[in-house]
Chains A and B, each alone.
Chain A
């Protein structure tokens, strides 16, 4: 059988992460392998331009536009491409719909795969050992940590993101928000409601 071990070169670097990244960066700069402007551009993208608002817009549109919802569910990648909401870590997306009988929950037990173009970068709890371990075994206990309690009539369906398919939960529209416009609804859609660890709720101040 073929062997392909990766050696632990990192041990030759300072163990303090701050000093470690400084040492690495100075090497990469000296060798001309990184462009600081490109690094700034990457951070700007994920800190300022890409976030849960993208996913919220899709959800609000699906709540108010039946044709859009059908397209979104059946032809997801094309719809996202048309809205320019595809991209790295969102190349192949499946939308899963919460109903009266099904509650969906998303996890990645092997690393921390997450639909970046739709939700931005994952919160730290999504990357934690506890969430990765427990979400598949005891999803209802995990939901309890988020103060989410499900009725016994709902089945929990946990999606483990083991491939390059990224999952987005389409939450149920709260009854109290019926009749609002697509624009008004956007602020009801929380990030957690699109992971399955929360529900949509009225925006603060209402």
Chain B
């Protein structure tokens, strides 16, 4: 059974609601959540992978019931909690983490948003796979170092064979970075899977799904 957030391929009878296609925020509080989350993302207390892990770590019923920005809000509060900034629904008062908190100033916003957070890293390690190689995704998609930890390996491709169609250089490895185990950059590939291999009933034999996968998610095809 995949985690609540790992939705790819889940049977869902709902149609896509395209009626509110141009609404970015449904209410003012959503704008606040968006801006505060981005601002605190620059605090240096956590990284993007940690903030994704915080949202995924919400209890499944909360994850599935909360609206998009409610997930962001709850995840953010949990991050502030684990950093000792808040306690029992209030500010915790004097604490160690606050001293290393970088406050985002208005004059830096444009520059920092423009810089973003590139994840590509220089690496001297030789990559294992080449374009055109057939590879297998490993059989389990759980984090190998942290119990129930973060991973970007979707459940629906585990154990599947696909073809390497692109190599993107070495990128920060989310499974380690989300748990502050270092950036551990790894070769990142795009792997193309045949839809007919992934699903019992596929719509068209020619259709494919491409997934970006880090090297340690992959094995040589046997």
Contact = CB atoms under 8 A, between A and B. Distances in A.
* Binding partners A and B: yes
Interface of A: 1-10, 12-13, 17-18, 20-25, 27-28, 30-35, 37-43, 45-47, 84, 86-92, 94, 107, 109-112, 120-121, 123-125, 127-134, 136-142, 145-146, 152, 155-165, 192
Contacts of A90: 116
Contacts of A22: 29
A136 B89 contact: no
A145 B15 contact: yes
B109 A45 contact: yes
Interface in B1-50: 5-12, 14-18, 20-24, 26-27, 29, 31-36, 38-40, 43
A7, A21, A141, most chain B CB atoms within 10 A = A21
Contact of B207 (A38, A47, A157): A157
A109 B119 contact: no
A17 B75 CA distance: 13
17 contacts: A2-B179, A8-B59, A21-B73, A22-B29, A28-B36, A39-B36, A42-B39, A42-B113, A84-B114, A87-B115, A120-B24, A124-B23, A128-B14, A132-B8, A133-B8, A137-B198, A162-B153
B148 interface: yes
Interface of B: 5-12, 14-18, 20-24, 26-27, 29, 31-36, 38-40, 43, 52-55, 57-59, 64, 67-70, 73-82, 85-91, 98, 101, 103-106, 108-110, 112-120, 145-149, 152-154, 156, 166, 168, 171-172, 179, 188, 190, 192, 195, 198-199, 203-204, 206-214
A137 B157 CA distance: 12
B146 A3 contact: yes
A139 B77 CA distance: 35
B86 A9 contact: yes
Contact of A140 (B88, B91, B204, B214): B204
Best-surrounded residue of A84, A90, A133, A152 (most CB of chain B within 10 A): A133
Contacts of A127: 68
Contacts of B119: 91-92, 163-164
B39 A92 contact: no
B171 A164 contact: yes
A5 B39 contact: no
A145 B179 CA distance: 39
Nearest to A103: B207
Contacts of A192: 21
Q: Which of A1, A7, A17, A132 has the most CB of B within 10 A?
A: A17
Nearest to B101: A33
Determine which residue in A20, A40, A137 has the highest number of CB atoms from chain B within 10 A of its CB, and name it.
Answer: A137
